[in-house]
Structure 1
């Protein structure tokens, strides 16, 4: 049996019940064959290994395999870094004798000795990266990226680096932290604050949740205002076009977050509007792609669908008396000029009163009579995303779940409600996953095998 592949390259076996049944039946037959291998005529053929004795053994083996992979990932980063560092310190193996050491040598074209030595170091590092690239059949950029990651984590985030080398931090988490740490100013105190703030979450959170938490921390400790950083970053806006196999292509745009979010909402809303039509046969991913292409090519779909971009602006920032950044829902901090522009074009307002110290939500306007609408408004503030661990689906794209079912006496109240996306909602209702509030504004999930995970609070 061969597994089919979706357009994004992921296997879709586990999302198709029919495929799951066929696959499990095939594996069951293989397992029976292993158990009866003693009756096999070809004694010289080694029988396949039996699976672990229990579910716990199998889960433990998976954990050990992942930990070993992380250890090897950190070791690769460190070795690449070591080779390139050695090349920078000793250029002779890569470039030959250093002519600047000869007192009679005269620099060409009037260059200084320091400039010549700096160029030799750069060339030696490039040469070493190319050497590793050929030896390992990977790109030079791959070598340099991993070496850079080790350098940044060693110097700026030693606690994260130690946990990464111990196998406790996933490679993707380490890469995200290194990227954000590299963007911080050259200040050891800021590095230390960032390292201390992300070392624990790096070992506990999935990539999406960690990225949000780390970005929020970076925002709090960065000494430069977001307005200055945004103006500088916007200078690097660009678009890339690539072409894939089977006549397909990819568009990638780097632009101000407010524009990207507005595009996302317009595409999503129009795609869902089309999906609701009775004669529509396309899937939601197909509709998103078609809508995006049609908007780029024609500029309008003519569907009359309007979209909403949600932005939270501190009132003192709006009045120009504070430099506290605004927050774009699903994105994070944005510059004040963009926030004021969005606020100026808003057709309605929702007042959210928060504690000035902790940021805890104290109350929400209740200007409508329909309680569900008010509760949804409050839940969107308390839980910006799906409450399942690691899920980043925006709350307004989720179902509203009763943690204690309505049929079991659960109340329709903020204490008993929370957003769950359509993918994770059935896990809570139809599997052995369970969730309970822990009294601190966060939730504790327990998996069917007993793994306990506390969801982190909203970062912005």
Structure 2
């Protein structure tokens, strides 16, 4: 063990416990090796914290500079031209604010591709860095010195950002309180301490804050492995507790029924789904109604293969589930594929809502936004002309890409560019910094 500290050819003296009894006079012979390994581990941990902190610092600086000096990302300011006129009737201040926003978006996209992370993560890290730099400077210094873990720094930054924008005194006292414990508490315990500090220093009453926080309530879902999915919600605590209590009570009543074999956790999940889908528990049969796109290998459809079907926006599902969804959906698109080449053989045109053939084809062949790293489904995207219509671009599959509103705006509002390689058919994006990145391959 401890290959970095031990000479593999060395020999250690062994303590003869039977002859001498327990070694109470001195530590075990290899205790120093444990200590050295511990020190080495601490050194690596600090190096990692230093690197993470510098990453936050640089991300924050890049996005801040992009907003301060947007010309690099968006091109020259048109409002400086004495002959400039905005045909949409916007004011100079509105134009300049939009340019700053576009510059920050373009810079975030550039950083995201370099670090292989989402743009949302880049923007979040920049905001955390800005919150620490501005509102908790003492914590920020400790973070940059490698003395604070990323988890604790993010917790403090998130809480500091929720203090009022004009509460400088509250920022300072919050900063002073958290630096007393930020280096010694584990993330779980620090969250409790930091929340308590934030509560003590917040100048507004909790009633006012609750009314404002309730405006941000919402529901979200995510695809999980093995045909599963998760569903979450943010709501007032009283409602959340009441909903949990009802789900738990129903699940426990079902658990007491004779012959029930499901666990309490399984019962809660089933009750939750049944209540939301049909309004009652133990609803029979699938009650999901959706517009879905299902890719079915032709031999699977004929019963000659067990290759799974593909559910748009999720991935592989079993053929029985695919048939059930298709049977209960009000509108669905079936795509038959060759089992060897994967070539599309047929696109079912029998849908309730009939989109243009070209739009449907692009949504099938390009499942998500064409910008690298973006997972927005193609059906929720704009169809972007790579070569603008006004410059002679055609409305054809060779010139159209699905682009979410965010990346569509980046392409047309900044110096980001895209082009498709005629030899490979791959769409490439070029950042204002000159970095080139190909669109992501199909996930499945």
Instruction: Specify whether residues 116 and 196 from structure 1 end up closer, same or farther in structure 2 by C-alpha distance, changes over 3 A only.
Output: same
DSSP 3-state at the match of 2:102 = helix
Query: Please, which of 90, 115, 122 is the counterpart of residue 69 of structure 2?
Result: 90
Q: Which has the higher contact order (CA 8 A, sep 6+)?
A: 2
- d(CA) in 1 for partners of 2:257, 2:46: 48
Structure 1: state its 5+ residue gaps: 1-26, 38-50, 303-460
Equivalent position of 1:61 in the other structure:
40
Match status 1:221 vs 2:189 = no
Equivalent position of 1:352 in the other structure:
none
Contact kept in structure 2, 1:239 and 1:253, CA below 8 Å: yes
Deviates more, 1:187-196 or 1:96-105: 96-105
Deviation at 1:111, TM superposition (A): 2.1
Instruction: Specify whether residues 63 and 112 from structure 1 end up closer, same or farther in structure 2 by C-alpha distance, changes over 3 A only.
Output: same
Equivalent position of 1:80 in the other structure:
59
Deviation at 1:243, TM superposition (A): 2.2
- Residues 179-218 of structure 1 mapped to structure 2, 5 A cutoff: 179-186=158-165, 187-218=167-198
Equivalent position of 1:247 in the other structure:
227
Match status 1:149 vs 2:128 = yes
- d(CA) in 1 for partners of 2:267, 2:142: 43
Deviation at 1:260, TM superposition (A): 2.3
Contact kept in structure 2, 1:52 and 1:58, CA below 8 Å: no
- d(CA) in 2 for partners of 1:275, 1:104: 76
- Residues 311-330 of structure 1 mapped to structure 2, 5 A cutoff: none
Equivalent position of 1:359 in the other structure:
none
Q: TM-score, normalized by length of structure 1?
A: 0.50
Computed over aligned residues only, the root mean square deviation of the Cα atoms, in angstroms, reads: 3.6
Q: Deviation digits for residues 41-73 of structure 1, max 9, x if unmatched?
A: xxxxxxxxxx99722222222222222111111
- How many aligned residue pairs are there? 260
- Residues 156-167 of structure 1 mapped to structure 2, 5 A cutoff: 156-167=135-146
- d(CA) in 2 for partners of 1:205, 1:277: 45
Deviation at 1:113, TM superposition (A): 1.6
DSSP 3-state at the match of 2:181 = helix
Match status 1:175 vs 2:175 = no
- Residues 92-111 of structure 1 mapped to structure 2, 5 A cutoff: 92-111=71-90
User: Which one has the largest radius of gyration?
Assistant: 2
Deviation at 1:192, TM superposition (A): 0.6
Match status 1:119 vs 2:119 = no
- d(CA) in 2 for partners of 1:63, 1:289: 42
Query: Please, which of 49, 54, 63 is the counterpart of residue 70 of structure 1?
Result: 49
- d(CA) in 2 for partners of 1:174, 1:142: 15
DSSP 3-state at the match of 1:230 = helix
Instruction: Specify whether residues 107 and 218 from structure 1 end up closer, same or farther in structure 2 by C-alpha distance, changes over 3 A only.
Output: same
Instruction: Specify whether residues 137 and 108 from structure 1 end up closer, same or farther in structure 2 by C-alpha distance, changes over 3 A only.
Output: same
Equivalent position of 1:444 in the other structure:
none
Deviation at 1:284, TM superposition (A): 6.5
Deviation at 1:104, TM superposition (A): 3.3
- d(CA) in 2 for partners of 1:272, 1:63: 47
- d(CA) in 2 for partners of 1:206, 1:268: 31
DSSP 3-state at the match of 2:147 = coil
Structure 2: state its 5+ residue gaps: 11-29, 283-444
- d(CA) in 2 for partners of 1:173, 1:278: 48
- d(CA) in 2 for partners of 1:261, 1:111: 47
